[in-house]
Amino acid sequence: MKVVAVLLAAGSGKRFGEKKQFIKLKGEPLFQYSLNTINKIDDITDVVLVLPEEDIDRTKVFSFKNVMKVAGGKERQDSVYNALKSVEKADIVVIHDSARPFATEKMFTDGIKNVKEGWDGSITALKSRDTIKEVDRNTVKRTLNREKLYIVQTPQTFVFEKLLYVHEKARENNIYGTDDSFLMEMEGFRITVNEGSALNFKVTTKEDLLLANCLIKGKKPF
Ligand code: CTP
Ligand code: MG
């Protein structure tokens, strides 16, 4: 079974203030951390690294895998689509945000295992530890049942042909979702969860970078 990883690094980092994927942590750019983890997954043979078009030539990549650099699109979903279209043949695809440098090997291997066992997709998710409420114009509307709420992360693993199909369909109908699983769910595909972690946070703002640096250097954040 051919397993391809799509590593997304084509964002513009509006909330961060610059392209965070190239920020160096202990001498290595942020995106390289995920690539180092992907390198350890035997099942994955190929990586599609999605980059801003203007950065493709200057971006140096260290990998034991076959890495193809592809230009991203306007939205994250467009970047995933470009990556999927660049793959000649694959059985399973793993989508990962390079903004999550602390995804573990297990998150990748668990997702791949679930899809190999017959699920259409498997997403890394963490059971909510906080109570989540629906609020509309500063008024609390209701309290959701915490037992059923999960915080969703990446990697997300799917049957390649099925993910390509839902992306094509979403494009035709101009539907945008915040993750790939959403598009699969809309088409009735069966998605399961594999265990995430609070440490698998997404570097979104400068505050997150502070945390990431502390974790990498083994320092206390506060
Ligand atoms: N991403 C991408 N192509 C896009 C937008 C996002 O490949 N057009 C990638 C980012 O590089 C990141 C991941 O998707 O690894 C998650 O996106 P996010 O954290 O939102 O990053 P940015 O879009 O860069 O940040 P912002 O939304 O603040 O601009
Ligand atoms: Mg974004």
Residue 132 lies in a domain: no
Residue 194 lies in a domain: yes
Measured from the Cα of 78, ligand 1's closest atom is 8
Span 108-146, pLDDT tens digits: 999 999 999 999 999 999 999 999 999 999 999 999 999
Residue 144 lies in a domain: no
Q: Please check the confidence at residue 220 and state whether its pLDDT lies above 70.
A: no
Work out whether the CA dihedral 160, 164, 170, 176 comes out positive or negative: positive
Residue 219, judged by CB atoms within 10 A of its CB (0-12, 13-18, 19+), counts as exposed
Residue 140 lies in a domain: no
Residue 57, judged by CB atoms within 10 A of its CB (0-12, 13-18, 19+), counts as exposed
pTM for the whole thing? 0.97
pLDDT band at 219 (very low <50, low <70, confident <90, very high): confident
Name the closest ligand to CA 29: 1
Domain range enclosing 158: 3-125+151-216
Residue 211 lies in a domain: yes
Measured from the Cα of 79, ligand 1's closest atom is 3
Residue 53 lies in a domain: yes
Span 64-75, pLDDT tens digits: 999 999 999 999
The residue-averaged pLDDT of 27-32 equals 96
Give the number of C-alpha atoms closer than 13 A to the C-alpha of residue 156, restricted to the C-beta side. 24
How much is the pLDDT for 218? 80
User: What mean pLDDT is reported for the chain?
Assistant: 97
Number of domains in the chain: 1
Report phi then psi at 54, rounded to 5: -70, -10
How much is the pLDDT for 84? 98
How much is the pLDDT for 194? 98
Residue 146 lies in a domain: no
**Pocket flag, ligand 1, residue 96 (CB < 6 Å):** no
**Residue 103 belongs to domain with CATH number:** 3.90.550.10
Residues 6+ apart with CB under 8 A from 43: 1, 3, 109, 112
**Pocket flag, ligand 1, residue 98 (CB < 6 Å):** yes
Per cent of the chain over pLDDT 90 is: 97
Residue 130 lies in a domain: no
Measured from the Cα of 97, ligand 1's closest atom is 15
Span 175-211, pLDDT tens digits: 999 999 999 999 999 999 999 999 999 999 999 999 9
